[in-house]
Structure 1
Amino acid sequence: MSGVNDIALSLQGLYKSFGAKVAVADLRLDVRAGSMFGLVGPNGAGKTTTLSMATGLLRPDAGRAVVLGADVWADPAAAKARMGVLPDGVRLFDRLSGRELLRYVGLLRSVDPGLVDTRSGELLEALGLSEDADNLVVDYSAGMTKKIGLACALIHAPRLLLLDEPLEAVDPVSGETIRAILRSYVAGGGTVVLSSHVMELVENMCDTVAVIAQGRVLATGTLDEIRAGESLQRRFVDLVGGKQLDEEALSWLRSS
């Protein structure tokens, strides 16, 4: 049986509503330390809302989020020091250069200035951003912005990474680099929680998966347990309940 020290992230009865709409309803989830954990669900399932509550960006109406033993809302400084976050649609201080942004975030995270410079150089090189390090982030492409956001999440060497759609808008070469970085991070004892609706990404990277829909966990377990001998895509559709297209629908699109 897993002990408290084996759990990197514990979500305990999270609940959030926006007016009459319930976005997350009594969501409970434990993420084992040292795992690559995939959070999957259809659009509007509550993935981003869940991660926002887990990282302290959005206050839950009820429930707790605990990061490596620190309650996100009762002890936010301790909890946030232990995690790195890449939100979907991240807003950065984009009038800074990539190098300046990393330095700013590193110092904000209380990293020694000399260490900030060393880590910044290594991250920029690893993510293929060295040539653009002194360009303003506002001039970065969507993929480059995602990569500098990941570098910001890593600069203080957290033990937990929470990533919302980390490979969205990233080209295949950069995507493979990011995968390699995340695998190395987990191999070194870190924990990654990534949210995505791309089943192939989760199936190729994650060892543990949770499927959520309408703000609730439908299934959680190892990748093999969730797939149950099928592809993750097939199991996902079965669990969530995919809509079957009527054979006569859009018949006007067919060649006459």
Structure 2
Amino acid sequence: MSTEQGNTTGAPALAFRGLAKAYGDKVVVRGIDLDVPTGSFYGLVGPNGAGKTTTLSMVTGLLRPNQGQVWIHGVDVWADPVRAKQLMGVLPDGLRLFERLSGTELLSYLGRLRGMPVDVVDSRSRELLDVLDLTSAGDKLVADYSTGMRKKITLATALLHSPPLLLLDEPLEAVDPVSARIIREVLQAYVAGGRTVVLSSHVMALVEELCSHVAVMNDGVIVTSGPVAQVRGDAATLDDAFFHIVGGRDIGQGGLEWLRSSQG
């Protein structure tokens, strides 16, 4: 990647080169490259332990890579972290929130922490709470929020400063169907406005429904990437393609016969 990546004009929404992470002798991510086009809804999928969360943590600046570089709209995440973080919104898996703040207070605090004008923070907070069906919960403590409500308020904090790129790690995991539908609709509207989402998920049906592009990780490397239709190939579904790409094995007809028997 040339040094001209500092100019955001025409740059991918997200690009990384040679990204690698190891803990002692255990290599988790093995020098991967990827370009995420601006305006795409990009899925990052892989089995447990593939390196997805570690990759996103390095991309967002939460975890320093052993080697490699990351650019957000042409801005080097490690050379200019303040500017890079202004360009992204992040929903990590298992994020700890300020439990003793209400939803409204949480948005107000984080907006002011970013230096946003108070009136802009208040206006956007009201709109986000309304769109995400959290208005009635705005005065409740985050500690009392359900899993779906916590996902939605975290998404609101990621959207508050209107970033051009969202990075989401399992945003719909353990979320009820109503909250999940609201989150999907908000993300689809966000991408329709020309912005970019990178979504890590185990749920192939969700990725196939939402995403325009997908990258498949396995054992710390990106096995394949591209438009969803290209990665799916001749398989009936993305789930079928994924199963064979990562070397899944069908249960043979002769296996587990005792489960098919009515005898104890």
Partner amino acid, structure 1, of 2:12:
I
Identity %: 57
Structure 1: gaps of 5 or more residues: none
1:140 aligns with 2:145: yes
Match of 2:127 in 1: 122
- Which deviates the most, 140-149 or 168-177? 168-177
Is 2:11–2:74's contact at 8 Å kept on the other side of the alignment?
A: no
Is 2:215–2:226's contact at 8 Å kept on the other side of the alignment?
A: yes
Q: CA deviation at 1:246?
A: 4.7
Q: CA deviation at 1:183?
A: 1.1
Q: CA deviation at 1:107?
A: 1.0
Q: CA deviation at 1:245?
A: 2.7
The separation in 2 between residues aligned to 1:100 and 1:126, in whole angstroms, is 17
Q: 1:238 aligns with which of 233, 244, 249?
A: 244
Q: 1:24 aligns with which of 23, 29, 43?
A: 29
Q: CA deviation at 1:110?
A: 1.7
Match of 2:227 in 1: 222
Partner amino acid, structure 2, of 1:253:
L
CA shift in 2, pair 1:4/1:221, >3 Å = farther
Match of 2:187 in 1: 182
Q: 1:74 aligns with which of 72, 79, 82?
A: 79
The separation in 2 between residues aligned to 1:105 and 1:210, in whole angstroms, is 32
Structure 2: gaps of 5 or more residues: 1-7
Q: CA deviation at 1:174?
A: 1.6
Q: CA deviation at 1:106?
A: 0.9
Q: Deviations over 1:110-144 (max 9, x none)?
A: 21110100100111111111111111101111111
Match of 2:14 in 1: 9
The separation in 2 between residues aligned to 1:112 and 1:189, in whole angstroms, is 25
Partner amino acid, structure 2, of 1:241:
G
Match of 1:110 in 2: 115
The separation in 2 between residues aligned to 1:173 and 1:229, in whole angstroms, is 33
Is 2:19–2:68's contact at 8 Å kept on the other side of the alignment?
A: yes
Partner amino acid, structure 1, of 2:258:
W
Q: CA deviation at 1:248?
A: 4.9
Is 2:43–2:207's contact at 8 Å kept on the other side of the alignment?
A: yes
Match of 2:212 in 1: 207
The separation in 2 between residues aligned to 1:72 and 1:38, in whole angstroms, is 21
1:47 aligns with 2:45: no
3-state SS in 2 of match to 1:212? strand
Match of 1:252 in 2: 258
Q: What's the TM-score once normalised by structure 1's chain length?
A: 0.96
Partner amino acid, structure 2, of 1:162:
L
Partner amino acid, structure 2, of 1:148:
I
The separation in 1 between residues aligned to 2:201 and 2:147, in whole angstroms, is 17
In the TM superposition, structure 1's runs of 4+ consecutive aligned residues that sit over 2 Å from their partners are 243-254
3-state SS in 1 of match to 2:243? helix
Q: Deviations over 1:43-92 (max 9, x none)?
A: 11000000000000000000011101111111100100000000001111
1:35 aligns with 2:64: no
Q: What's the TM-score once normalised by structure 2's chain length?
A: 0.93
The separation in 2 between residues aligned to 1:5 and 1:107, in whole angstroms, is 31
The separation in 2 between residues aligned to 1:236 and 1:156, in whole angstroms, is 35
